[in-house]
A and B are shown apart, each in its own frame.
Chain A
């Protein structure tokens, strides 16, 4: 039951929109009368449903993660330690920011799914680690919601944990790819572990950044 992401919008989709009931009349203006579009989205949502602003935030931050990754690759190169760790740090911090903004159970898993699918649709990458990534996101969510009660320290720890588990998932996929000659995995594993350093960097930067976002009014205390 915990893991069903209930649809954001109510099951009683037969509710029709009340018309305002007037058509504008003026000297020449005669508007066309269209039937109202079905199933408009409600303004109020139950506490456990995702609102439109939650979904928009998830989408926008996923896009920012991908775009920043691309930009860092162009600016700093793809395979050097600075670029790798910065990219991971950015992604982890964006997950933290998102989870602080959208405090619902399942946000991280949805964001991970959306992020992987965006990568896949735009670059056909990242689909192999998806199942393990989703599992790690759910573990992180359980930790944040039940062990940490949605506090800032729990969100930071949970997202860093998710990042590290994601690196482990990448290592699994790498070993599967080079299973005939496992020694080839070692250089790639070193790259993955360098990028995992970015998760630890996120531990350093995230608290300050969250404080600043609160100060700017983007996140509620």
Chain B
């Protein structure tokens, strides 16, 4: 059988880059196969995608050598339009591939551009919308579609034209677990139809059962190629900085140590001592199964909290296991809220975000997790009930001054001109009369952090050489880490994190998990995440907003 995609000795170097981004890559992907590209951030996964869909030559003007063939035809001398006839790509943000306003119009437009006659388009629309589950949302405007629906629309508009290869770049990043399962099923079905699929992603678990082979890229070179199940090997995971490939149960790989949230009722977690919980380090039991340290390559996950992240002194007196032993941080009392014109989201909600352990807020999409975060931090005011910080009821303004947030999309939060300015600007802000103010000698007045302090923060988060770079020129994972760094540098009593692990590879995920755990040492942390990998690494107290009990 002829391979659908054949890469021979391919090397790629971007203009103005010193080192090649890909070197000496040899790969064959056959029809009916799903290949997963894994590896550290910056390892070359996105570059590989760009090489195969032609953007590297046409748009980025990279120098290349070797050959890339789809069904025997060399891609390098073809135009983007010709290449996309055989190679479909779904970008990381599928919204950027929409030209029309509704899924129906988008699909019809894409097909018309390829010469699909009108008589066939109606029937194709019917078939593909049923196959991918878009039947009910065909006329919904773009801003009301979920990420999964946008992705499916882009898939339908391209797959109906019978490409040979499908490329997906981090497709799971904005999806909830149900959508991920649905996407994995769709990919498995498409694979059976004969399509060759290549998926580049940090998250590996959701592909369990759908993926056949995996290729690990590091520094532009292929360092491991084998069956997907092989990625569960903890040595491989540790060495190349991957995330876990096997889920907690199933998929043929033995589960790690008792998951922190399994079993009914209260969670169990390791006994805590009087000192603040240590970040994920060599001694703590982790999800790798063998207790091996979550180090990756040259960079060790540092012990201790990130500099400047402890906003208030550690709560003295020791911490006993169990949520009852934790002092209350943020309390919701009889909270009521609903957006005008819609059904109320919360009615009489009473809950607590303890100090000392992060609270993991869970619930289905649309249940109001982000709204609860906005209420807690003072961006919204509740209609009924009150919110207390350390026993003191505060209005929205007061809560806003004492909270620190990381939103779902890091881009929207980075606004300064250089990376170090972002940290400085976050560092300077604090509530009046707090410990930080006293530290700098003038309570209530801002002071600049020293160069060393800023360097220390950047060093911790692996952004050391990037101090003078513009935040928008960083990669996705770097932007995410910068947003986390800025939020944790700001002293606050409540830290809210909405999907903080997007775009982070294995090592950076461990770093973030350690920082979150340490940050909880002196404040309340509200964590919203669909990422099982993060949930495993961070010992947390569950706050389930769940469908019925609210």
Binding site for B on A (CB under 8 A): 17-18, 20-22, 24-29, 31-32, 34-38, 40-43, 212, 215-218
Contacts and interface: CB of A to CB of B under 8 A. Distances in A.
Q: 3 tightest CB-CB pairs across the interface, nearest first?
A: A29-B194, A31-B162, A26-B31
A37 B113 contact: yes
Contacts of B162: 24, 31-32
Contact of B115 (A22, A37, A215, A218): A37
A20 B114 contact: no
Contacts of A42: 79
B470 A36 contact: no
Interface string B169-199: 0000000000000000000000001110000
24 contacts: A17-B81, A20-B70, A20-B78, A22-B71, A24-B4, A24-B31, A24-B164, A25-B31, A26-B31, A26-B32, A27-B32, A27-B194, A31-B162, A34-B114, A34-B161, A37-B115, A40-B79, A40-B81, A41-B81, A42-B79, A43-B58, A212-B417, A216-B473, A217-B473
B76 to A, nearest CB: 13
B85 interface: yes
A55 to B, nearest CB: 12
Q: Helix, strand, loop or mixed for chain B's interface? A: loop
Interface residues of B, number: 34
Contacts of B470: 212, 215-217
A131 B366 CA distance: 47
Given A36-B115, A37-B112, A38-B115, A20 B79 contact: no
Contacts of B114: 34, 36-37
B71 A24 contact: yes
Contact of A34 (B31, B70, B115): B115
A18 B112 CA distance: 18
Interface string B71-110: 1110000111110011000000000000000000000000
Given A212-B417, A215-B470, A217-B473, A35 B115 contact: yes
A129 B517 CA distance: 59
Contacts of A28: 193-194
B440 interface: no
Contacts of B112: 37
Interface of B: 1-2, 4, 31-32, 58, 70-73, 78-82, 85-86, 112-117, 161-162, 164, 193-195, 417, 470-473
Q: Helix, strand, loop or mixed for chain A's interface? A: loop
A24 B72 contact: no
A31 B193 CA distance: 10
Contacts of B79: 40, 42-43
A22 B5 CA distance: 13
A34 B118 CA distance: 12
A18 B417 contact: no
Contacts of A38: 115
A172 B470 CA distance: 44
Contacts of B4: 24, 26
A149 B543 CA distance: 61
Contacts of B78: 20
A11 B112 CA distance: 21
A40 B186 CA distance: 30
